[in-house]
Amino acid sequence: MTDDKLISRMQAVQSPIIPVVGELIKNSPGTISLGQGVVSYSPPPEAIELLPKFLGEARNNLYQAVEGIPPLLTALKAKLSAFNCIEINNDSCVVVTAGSNMAFMNAILAITSPGDEIILNTPYYFNHEMAITMAGCRVVLVETDENYQLRPEALAAAITPKTKAIVTISPNNPTGVVYSEAALRQVNQICRDRHIYHISDEAYEYFTYNGVKHISPGAFAGSSDYTISLYSLSKAYGFAGWRIGYMVIPKHLLVAVKKVQDTILICPPVVSQYAALGALQAKDEYLKENIGAIAQVRQLVIDSLNHLQGLCTIAQADGAFYFFLKVHTQMNAFELVKRLIQEHKVAVIPGTTFGMENGCYLRVAYGALQENTAKAGIERLVNGLRNII
């Protein structure tokens, strides 16, 4: 029997689903994965071209500034101004992180004490829920509407004296929806009025379709004192393994965030920071062409998923590279995922991982596939659901 003294806080944290599904894929050779949220394309050549500069300076082998190397911070401030309409001023600052997952953990540890509450919208991004639990805080879940859009009144009603932040993700993982400017303004105003933080995860900021525009709450007038914005190079620049993200935080949180980052990381990987600096110098065509190719795959996926009408409900998703399917079945979502892999050689992620316990939901990711592979994978998914359900 396990001694209670040996039980750690980690027992309360869910296991990451991606490795679990990965093992099922490994045991079923030939499976096409519509699971992990990554892109198929490589970093821009400008990222690689800057690496000799890193290698040419011996001091780069030493620790660098906790918050990031100055040239990268300067480039990020310019990007934030041009794309996000966020001006870094005396009330805010930028911190480079090892991916935006780390930026989220930095934020949670900086603003909370054990027992505090963080509000997440469901379906949530599973690593957010895991980080909050790891920090000894309580996750408070608020359902989105039938189209996975924000319900500001419900978010306001969920706030208690222990609430420290509301988290929004737009474009959204896992649903692919993009929140309206009006809804984001409403949530941001609630956070201002109730003296809590608005944590805005914008990892998919470049992935919007049908003329939909990305909105950054950090650009709203007067919001810099309570808005924490999280960004990533992993998606748009094909940088997943390089582990570079960044956060825009109120200046009053800088000391706390630096304590967290210095303890866990000391400094973001300097070689990756040089690559990131190069990536930000990529020509506009790099993002335009690669995201344009994903948009084509997206349309192909939509056309195929339309054959599931009656079997699934699929909400409109104008961002990221996900669709979130509500499957009309009593079957357990993970059992359905296992059968799709074992019997039809296609992998998706169960909705239970994202906090959807009532009903059977599947997240379909299409960013990592070339057009032909995506077509084959979606056809397998459609056929599998028709045969199983």
Q: Are residues 208 and 74 in the same domain?
A: yes
Q: Are residues 262 and 350 in the same domain?
A: no
Helix (H) or strand (E) holding 326: strand 322-327
Q: Residue 199 belongs to a domain with what CATH number?
A: 3.40.640.10
* Residue-level pLDDT at 269: 96
Q: Are residues 90 and 121 in the same domain?
A: yes
172 residue type, one letter: N
pLDDT score of 134 more than 70: yes
Which three-class secondary structure string do you get for 175-234?
CCCCCCHHHHHHHHHHHHHCCCEEEEECCCCCCECCCCCCCCHHHCCCCCCCEEEEEECC
368 band by pLDDT with thresholds 50, 70 and 90:
very high
The closest alpha carbon to 83, from 240, 207, 244, belongs to 207
Q: Are residues 102 and 210 in the same domain?
A: yes
Residue range 317-325: average pLDDT?
97
Q: Are residues 147 and 244 in the same domain?
A: yes
Q: Looking at the 3D structure of the chain, how many domains does it have?
A: 2
Q: Residue 312 belongs to a domain with what CATH number?
A: 3.90.1150.10
* Residue-level pLDDT at 5: 67
User: Whole-number mean pLDDT of the chain?
Assistant: 95
- Boundary residue ending a domain (255, 279, 303): 279
Helix (H) or strand (E) holding 142: strand 138-143
pLDDT score of 301 more than 90: yes
> Would you state the structure tokens that stand for residue 202, as one six-digit string?
């914008």
* Residue-level pLDDT at 9: 85
Q: Are residues 326 and 260 in the same domain?
A: no
Residue range 337-354: average pLDDT?
96
- Boundary residue ending a domain (212, 247, 279): 279
pLDDT score of 3 more than 90: no
Q: Are residues 132 and 188 in the same domain?
A: yes
- pLDDT tens-digit profile of 33-48? 998 889 999 999 999 9
**3-class state of residue 252 by DSSP:** helix
Q: Give counts: helices (H), strands (E), the chain.
A: 13, 13
DSSP for 280-332? TTS-HHHHHHHHHHHHHHHHHHHHHHGGGBTTEEE----BTTEEEEEE-SSS-
Peptide linkage before 161 cis (omega within 30 of 0): no
18 band by pLDDT with thresholds 50, 70 and 90:
confident
Domain that holds residue 33: 4-43+284-388
Q: Considering the entire predicted model, what is its pTM?
A: 0.96
Residue range 99-118: average pLDDT?
98
Q: Are residues 66 and 160 in the same domain?
A: yes
308 band by pLDDT with thresholds 50, 70 and 90:
very high
- Boundary residue ending a domain (220, 244, 279): 279
* Residue-level pLDDT at 352: 95
- pLDDT tens-digit profile of 233-292? 999 999 999 999 999 999 999 999 999 999 999 999 999 999 999 999 999 999 999 999
